[in-house]
Structure 1
Amino acid sequence: MPLHTLTQLSQLPAASWDALLPTSQPFLRHAFLSSLEDSGSVGGRTGWLPAHRLWCDAQGQVQAALPAYIKQHSYGEYVFDHAWADACRRAGIAYYPKLLGAVPFSPVSGARLLGDAHAAAQLLDELADELDDQGLSSLHINFTSPACDALMLQRQGWLERLGCQFHWHNRGYRDFHDFLDVLASRKRKQMRKEREQVAGQGIDFDWRGGHELSEVDWDFVYQCYANTYHVRGQAPYLTRTFFSLLAERMPEAIRVVFARQHGRPLAMAFSLVDGDTFYGRYWGCLAEFDRLHFETCFYQGMERAIAEGLERFDAGAQGEHKLIRGFEPVLTHSWHYLRHPGLHAAVAEFLEQERSGVRVYAEQARSYLPFRQAAGG
């Protein structure tokens, strides 16, 4: 059979996997996904069991792939189907295990069906047909690219779900002041005031690339990252080892900013970059300071994107507070194949209404953007 399951990405050479990627997006690279596995952030008892699907030709060469995981829960996905699972539980329908095509813990849109388009279509069709044999209730593919969306629209039985994120666009700004100049006066003053409040507390910022970070630095990064979960009574998704492995395997993509007060580190924001996009991923602090979150996570990232000539700043899921700071609504897509006929029908009806609501929400959200009327777009 041309369809194979890979339970450890390390079984496939990095060059073979990366050759399938259409872009340089860091989250799809062998280095990122294998670091999740080798660090224990997925696998084992995490509820994320790697089950990557490969489509191979007669000579055994990989032609297409789907990064995939057998899931025993719905945490860490950022496309929320807990209500679907709960409805199944009440009806006596098994919702777990399910199969998820995604990048764990990363609500970043991009390619999911990798490699040759024809082979990827065959992989998808074969995979949907074999769910029953594997005891899987459903197949979900989250945060897809336009090319993947076009492929899914051609197939029967798949349900589309929309979401809304907020991304900042660098429209050729020379610096942060240049960006402020396109804002309405009141919003411009608000941002300046927020930044001045942080500076007035004696806090400054230090940017480091992956090659410049020591293990002591990574200890602090992880301490801050883990603290964002601990304060909510939750365990962090990522292990400490993940950060060291990623720094070893793809340091060129890593950017970390440290917030310091009189030389003492207080907070950090961890980001990744590719050819045109700045991806803000994780943040954390060890002490609360007024407006520190906005400065560290948003304004510093915007300045960095401008400095590196990057076109877009993807700061992650949710966050209506991003709107007044110039982050514009962007629709995201996910696709769902549900084997149970009753569940499929109920979810299809729900998603039809939800898609309409998401589109209206995204359009209304634009009215809160801070741009001068002639400068927005």
Structure 2
Amino acid sequence: MELHLVRQIAEIDRQAWNSLVADNHPFLRHEFLQALEDHQCVSAKFGWYPQHLALYHHGRLIAAMPLYAKTNSYGEFVFDHSWAQAWQSVGLSYFPKWVTSVPYAPVTGPRFLIASEQDADHIRTLLVQHLQKLAIEQQVSGWHILFADTLDQAWLNQQDDWLIRHDCHFHWYNRGYQSFDDFLADLKPKKRKNIKQERRKVVDAGVNLVRLNGYTASDQDWQDFNRFYQKTFAEKHSLATLNRGFFQAVAKALPDQVLLVMAQRDGKNIAGSLMFHSDSTLFGRHWGCVEEINSLHFEACYYQGIEFALEQGLKRFEPGAGGEHKIARGFEPVISQSAHWMTPHPFDEGLAAFLQQEKAMIDDYFYQSCLQSPFSSPRE
């Protein structure tokens, strides 16, 4: 076997990489990751340095992993600023660190991409042992695997030298609904009424919603959406890392996996939300607008997504991180996990106590969120 770390995903054959991607996961496809690199969304400017892993057996790619060296913690959605401060307080360098995740996207998915005929646990062990040794040689502070899917996370949970952090997200599940009305019928009357009222407000405001994909969205649509996206980050005094070139490159490369919802009034785009989907799951990512209209955010980001998921037979909808306001709109609390391996450091007891306290807080938040369920019958 030969294991390589590469600075550009273009150094790995596209078809070979994609053959390892389960469920046609859009954020793990070669085209998506390459578009991030080609359009400088992950680059030294933003503190993301690609060094993707590729494992070959007799010249054939049998395993791979998205991997980045990071010089900051931006765009990860697992917040470790206090860890960085602790390292700095004793004169240690927290950066660079390694991160295995999808940049700027708190989406779940496989993190060890392994050929189906391989012994997955053996390959995971092989990759982890090699990278841990390399991390020590390269003097990185640690390696963070974020939002791994159930199979990868279950394996990581069994490893004694990995720390596990918990968070709470909100996902929508298709429980055999045939239509949006079927979904509404599963809600308590008051919640059902509120959603209908929110959707009516958008209609009454003279707004028309249009669903587009990579084939049907025009250059003007992407220009407008990029303007909405940039405006959202500017208003939050945050850093916009994506750009029009990236959006259009992904739309061209993965046209069937893009869902661009544009809100139009008087023939002009005034707001938009961007989503992507695998064979089973819809992922909501970005939203922006130039006109504030009551309930338009909920319509464009949630209800249009739910309708699309139902039409396409998708099983789940991950709308993004945070937000208890999602509960009243049919999204259910879900515990997410991330795994963290640290090179030798003086904070073993402190991190253990931190993680225990954090888990207790997340467990309580999850429980309180469950109590707010909008559904008429208990969820499984």
The one-letter amino acid of 2:94's match is Y
State the Cα distance separating 1:83 from its structure 2 match: 1.2
State the Cα distance separating 1:149 from its structure 2 match: 1.7
The one-letter amino acid of 1:68's match is L
CA distance in 2, matches of 1:233, 1:155: 39
State the Cα distance separating 1:102 from its structure 2 match: 0.7
1:50 paired with 2:54, answer no
Note if contact 2:97-2:141 (Cα within 8 Å) is conserved in structure 1: yes
Structure 2 partner of 1:290: 294
CA distance in 2, matches of 1:376, 1:185: 17
Note if contact 1:53-1:65 (Cα within 8 Å) is conserved in structure 2: yes
Structure 2 partner of 1:35: 35
The one-letter amino acid of 2:210's match is D
Note if contact 1:55-1:120 (Cα within 8 Å) is conserved in structure 2: no
Structure 2 partner of 1:249: 253
State the Cα distance separating 1:341 from its structure 2 match: 3.0
Note if contact 1:56-1:63 (Cα within 8 Å) is conserved in structure 2: yes
Same amino acid, percent of matched pairs: 38
CA distance in 2, matches of 1:63, 1:303: 37
Note if contact 2:100-2:144 (Cα within 8 Å) is conserved in structure 1: yes
Note if contact 1:325-1:369 (Cα within 8 Å) is conserved in structure 2: no
Structure 2 partner of 1:183: 187
1:213 paired with 2:229, answer no
Note closer, same or farther for the CA distance 1:224–1:345 as it changes in structure 2 (3 Å cut).
same
State the Cα distance separating 1:375 from its structure 2 match: 5.9
Structure 1 partner of 2:96: 97
Note closer, same or farther for the CA distance 1:259–1:250 as it changes in structure 2 (3 Å cut).
same
Could you give the per-residue CA deviations for residues 225-249 of structure 1, whole angstroms, max 9, x where no partner exists? 1111011122311122111110121
1:259 paired with 2:258, answer no
CA distance in 2, matches of 1:244, 1:69: 24
1:17 paired with 2:17, answer yes
The one-letter amino acid of 1:242's match is F
Note if contact 1:31-1:249 (Cα within 8 Å) is conserved in structure 2: yes
State the Cα distance separating 1:222 from its structure 2 match: 0.8
Deviates more, 1:308-317 or 1:174-183: 174-183
Note if contact 1:184-1:371 (Cα within 8 Å) is conserved in structure 2: yes
State the Cα distance separating 1:376 from its structure 2 match: 4.2
Could you give the per-residue CA deviations for residues 250-304 of structure 1, whole angstroms, max 9, x where no partner exists? 1110111111112221101111111111111111101111111111111111111
Q: CA RMSD in A?
A: 1.5
Deviates more, 1:309-318 or 1:344-353: 344-353
SS of aligned partner of 1:125: helix
CA distance in 2, matches of 1:20, 1:186: 45
Structure 1 partner of 2:273: 269
Could you give the per-residue CA deviations for residues 158-186 of structure 1, whole angstroms, max 9, x where no partner exists? 10111110001122222222211121111
1:114 paired with 2:113, answer yes
| TM value normalised by structure 2 | 0.95
Note if contact 1:41-1:237 (Cα within 8 Å) is conserved in structure 2: yes
State the Cα distance separating 1:35 from its structure 2 match: 0.8
The 5 Å alignment of 1:1-377 reads 2-57=2-57, 59-115=58-114, 116=118, 117=120, 118-372=122-376, 374=377, 376-377=379-380
The one-letter amino acid of 2:284's match is G
Structure 1 residue runs of 4 or more that deviate by more than 3 Å after TM superposition: none
| TM value normalised by structure 1 | 0.96
Figure out how many residues of one structure are paired with residues of the other and give that number: 375
Note closer, same or farther for the CA distance 1:375–1:343 as it changes in structure 2 (3 Å cut).
closer
Note if contact 1:65-1:120 (Cα within 8 Å) is conserved in structure 2: no
Note if contact 2:12-2:54 (Cα within 8 Å) is conserved in structure 1: no
Could you give the per-residue CA deviations for residues 110-150 of structure 1, whole angstroms, max 9, x where no partner exists? 10011141223201111012212112111000001121123
Q: Gapped runs of 5+ residues in structure 2?
A: none
